[in-house]
């Protein structure tokens, strides 16, 4: 195995040469970039960074949605021993500035003017920042030196053989223990923490993920999850480079189905939210027609789907399985590079996240918390030794998740340790299980359970608006709103019946007795879901707690 990520990428580029490495859309047409051309461009950018004074160990911010330039810039940063600090594109200026300042970033890549302005408007708060590189042209001012992507590459080209030699010399000095990236957690409580991942962390995890994998050289991956998220970073960028898989970039989350038809990939990584949407679109069809429709959407070349980042609802996993489509659910954290466990083609068990990957240990603490140890465990939290010591104890990383191991090693996640709801009657309830059962109803799209310290559970629910509109048209209901919530008594009565029906699966203390019915899905823009569309339970509860608390006013 190569000693660092850049050397690994370079080996594959030399081996595959003119074969397609990246496929991206430009002016409505997909264009290919070969492995050789990708490496050449990354080296030019790396030489350009050196010419502008970037040195090994420097932190470089990355503020952009997925683009092929993102991938090339990442390889350039890794080649010179610098550290990529990716930020979610939807972040607001204070969040961006915090991560740049906390990481002591000297430079930042931005995609366009909108992202550049998040930095330019608050330059006085990032005194260490010296350089901005923009993929698209931007208008800038102030003290920050701002250059375009093409200018950076041209500067690297002008350095000639000496520039290339300097890049190769630095790349050869990068060890597995050197930092590759600092990735900030979502920060649902308090300030986000910078997770330090080394080259060895990521290389070992990519290699472990290949165990029993169906992925082969020459396959094509449709890539849409943000690279600012470790799941996509590891699987879509580094695992693919290790094997020699062509990465085809989706245009956006809204065009994934269209891009599936255009690319016809052999593999796709995703969060459960997309699979839920696909299942919802076919669930009402007869079983044979349902399977045919799913295969038509996913394309004839598909070998498998990967699911991570959140729990895959059991009914969705079973539905895909019964349709003959392989969905492998895994589990991990940013702090674990990220994959700890994953199902395999030879032993795919719906409802579990599979056994531990090779060379990774899992054990369950007396209080049910999942602990893990191995080469995937982070180096620590950037500038936060206390948080590091609290999270990694005697080599074991405390995940904060609660689960159980089956006799054959398959891991079942039951909940986040700190998300457990304890009712006023002392009942410990896993909200994710309640939410899983709620969203198994086709009319319920998303759900967040609430009730810590209360005498019963309530929930914040979003409906499947397409199904609800059809039912409303047929029944003559009025989808009227009040402060963003659906308020028509007939609609609420309809959902009361549906909630009561699915809650029959749970004991009385675990059942949702009352709910709020939001008139729209949870939104990325307002922070209600993460960049990978995972529901941010604490944020939503804090946002709507007054309304949720009002559900209990007549209950003492």
pLDDT for the residue numbered 202: 98
Residue 187: pLDDT band by 50, 70, 90 thresholds? very low
Q: Name the nearest CA neighbour of 79 among 144, 174, 153, 146.
A: 174
Q: Give me the helix-helix angle, 149-158 and 35-51, nearest 10°.
A: 80
Residue 186 pLDDT greater than 70, yes or no: no
Distance CA 453, CA 435 (A): 18
pLDDT for the residue numbered 472: 94
Q: What are the E-state strand segments in 176-236?
A: 179-184, 194-198, 220-223
Distance CA 2, CA 195 (A): 23
Q: Is 487 exposed, middle or buried (0-12, 13-18, 19+ CB in 10 A)?
A: middle
Parallel, antiparallel, or unpaired: how do β-strands 392-393 and 194-198 relate? Answer: unpaired
Distance CA 135, CA 69 (A): 7
Burial state string for 281-316 with b = 16 or more CB within 10 A and e = fewer than 16: ebeeeeeeebbeebeeebbeebebbbbbbbbbbebb
Q: Looking at 187-191, 515-519, 530-534, which range is the least confident one?
A: 187-191
What SS3 state is found at 291? helix
* Secondary structure (DSSP) of 172-228: HH--TTSEEEEEE---SSSS--EEEEEHHHHHHHHHHHTTT----TT-EEEE-S-TT
Q: Do the Cβ atoms of 436 and 314 come closer than 8 Å?
A: yes
**Start-to-end C-alpha separation, the chain:** 64
Q: Which residue has the higher pLDDT, 420 or 65?
A: 65
Respond yes or no on whether the N-terminal peptide bond of residue 338 is cis (omega within 30° of 0). yes
DSSP lists the bridge partners of residue 485 as 482, 518
Distance CA 211, CA 407 (A): 21
Q: Name the nearest CA neighbour of 206 among 245, 247, 242, 244.
A: 242
Residues of the chain with CATH 3.40.50.12780: 17-174, 204-415
CATH class of this structure's domain 17-174: alpha beta
Task: Give pLDDT tens digits for 233-246.
Answer: 999 999 999 999 99
pLDDT for the residue numbered 555: 60
Q: CB count, 10 Å around CB of 18?
A: 10
Could you tell me what percent of the chain has a pLDDT over 90? 84
Residue 379 pLDDT greater than 70, yes or no: yes
Burial state string for 231-244 with b = 16 or more CB within 10 A and e = fewer than 16: bbbbbbbbbbbbbb
**Which structure tokens are listed for 108?**
């930042």
Task: Give pLDDT tens digits for 462-512.
Answer: 999 999 999 999 999 999 999 999 999 999 999 999 999 999 988 888 899
What SS3 state is found at 332? strand
- Rounded to two decimals, what is the model's pTM? 0.86
Task: Provide the greatest CA pair distance for the chain.
Answer: 78
DSSP state for residue 356 in the 8-state scheme: B
Residues of the chain with CATH 3.30.300.30: 420-550
Q: Is 439 exposed, middle or buried (0-12, 13-18, 19+ CB in 10 A)?
A: buried
pLDDT for the residue numbered 189: 41
Distance CA 397, CA 335 (A): 8
Task: Give pLDDT tens digits for 426-469.
Answer: 777 889 889 989 999 999 999 999 998 888 999 999 999 999 99
Over its C-alpha atoms, the chain yields an Rg (Å, rounded) of 24
Level-2 CATH architecture, domain 204-415: 3-Layer(aba) Sandwich (3.40)
Q: What are the E-state strand segments in 117-245?
A: 131-134, 145-148, 179-184, 194-198, 220-223
**Once rounded to an integer, what is the mean pLDDT over residues 533-555?**
89
Level-2 CATH architecture, domain 420-550: 2-Layer Sandwich (3.30)
Residue 556 pLDDT greater than 60, yes or no: no
DSSP lists the bridge partners of residue 246 as 220
Q: Name the nearest CA neighbour of 125 among 95, 146, 154.
A: 95
pLDDT for the residue numbered 309: 86
Task: Give pLDDT tens digits for 90-128.
Answer: 888 988 999 999 999 999 999 999 999 999 999 999 999
Q: Name the nearest CA neighbour of 242 among 437, 16, 503, 65.
A: 16
CA 509, 514, 517, 523 torsion: positive or negative?
A: negative
Task: Give pLDDT tens digits for 270-313.
Answer: 988 899 889 989 999 999 999 999 999 999 999 999 999 888 88
Q: Give me the helix-helix angle, 35-51 and 5-16, nearest 10°.
A: 140
Quick one: how many helices (H) and strands (E) in the chain?
A: 19, 28
Q: Do the Cβ atoms of 57 and 51 come closer than 8 Å?
A: no
């Amino acid at each position: 195995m190569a000693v660092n990520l850049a050397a690994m990428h370079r080996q594959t580029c030399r081996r595959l040469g003119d074969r397609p490495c990246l496929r991206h859309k430009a002016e409505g047409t997909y264009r290919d970039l070969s492995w050789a051309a990708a490496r050449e461009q990354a080296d030019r950018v790396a030489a350009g960074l050196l010419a502008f004074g970037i040195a090994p160990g420097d932190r470089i911010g990355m503020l952009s949605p997925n683009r092929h330039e993102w991938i090339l810039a990442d390889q350039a940063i890794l080649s010179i021993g610098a550290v990529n600090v990716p930020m979610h594109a939807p972040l607001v200026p204070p969040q961006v500035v915090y991560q740049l300042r906390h990481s002591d970033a000297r430079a930042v890549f931005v995609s366009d003017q909108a992202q550049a302005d998040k930095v330019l408007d608050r330059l006085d708060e990032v005194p260490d920042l010296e350089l901005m590189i923009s993929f698209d042209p931007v208008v800038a001012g102030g003290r920050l030196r701002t250059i375009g992507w093409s200018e950076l590459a041209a500067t690297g080209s002008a350095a000639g053989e000496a520039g290339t030699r300097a890049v190769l010399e630095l790349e050869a000095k990068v060890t597995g223990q050197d930092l590759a990236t600092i990735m900030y957690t979502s920060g649902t409580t308090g300030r986000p923490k910078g997770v330090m991942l080394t080259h060895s962390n990521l290389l070992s995890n990519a290699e472990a993920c290949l165990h029993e994998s169906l992925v082969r050289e020459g396959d094509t991956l449709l890539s849409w999850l943000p690279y600012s998220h470790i799941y996509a970073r590891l699987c879509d960028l580094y695992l693919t480079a290790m094997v020699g898989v062509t990465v085809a970039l989706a245009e956006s989350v809204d065009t994934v189905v269209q891009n599936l038809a255009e690319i016809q990939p052999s593999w796709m990584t995703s969060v459960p939210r997309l699979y839920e949407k696909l299942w919802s679109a076919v669930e009402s069809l007869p079983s044979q027609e349902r399977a045919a429709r799913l295969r038509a959407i996913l394309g004839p070349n598909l070998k498998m789907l990967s699911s991570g980042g959140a729990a895959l609802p059991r009914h969705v996993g079973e539905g895909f399985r019964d349709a003959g489509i392989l969905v492998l659910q895994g589990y991990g954290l940013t702090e674990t590079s990220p994959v700890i466990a994953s199902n395999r083609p030879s032993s795919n068990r719906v409802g579990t996240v599979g056994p531990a990957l090779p060379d990774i240990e899992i054990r369950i603490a007396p209080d049910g918390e999942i602990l893990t140890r191995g080469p995937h465990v982070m180096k620590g939290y950037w500038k936060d030794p206390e948080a590091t010591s609290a999270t990694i104890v005697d080599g074991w990383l405390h995940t904060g998740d609660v689960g159980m191991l089956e006799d054959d090693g398959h891991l079942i996640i039951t909940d986040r340790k700190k998300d457990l709801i304890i009712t006023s009657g002392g009942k410990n309830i896993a909200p994710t299980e309640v939410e899983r059962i709620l969203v198994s109803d086709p009319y319920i799209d998303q759900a967040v359970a609430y009730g810590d310290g209360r005498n019963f559970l309530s929930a914040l629910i979003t409906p499947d608006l397409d199904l609800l509109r059809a039912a409303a048209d047929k029944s003559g209901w009025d989808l009227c709103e009040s402060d963003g919530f659906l308020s028509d008594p007939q609609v609420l009565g309809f959902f009361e019946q549906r909630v009561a029906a699915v809650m029959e699966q749970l004991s009385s203390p675990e059942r949702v007795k009352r709910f709020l019915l939001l008139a729209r899905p949870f939104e990325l823009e307002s922070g209600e879901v993460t960049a990978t569309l995972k529901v941010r339970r604490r944020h939503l509860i804090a946002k709507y707690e007054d309304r949720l608390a009002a559900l209990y006013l007549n209950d003492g």
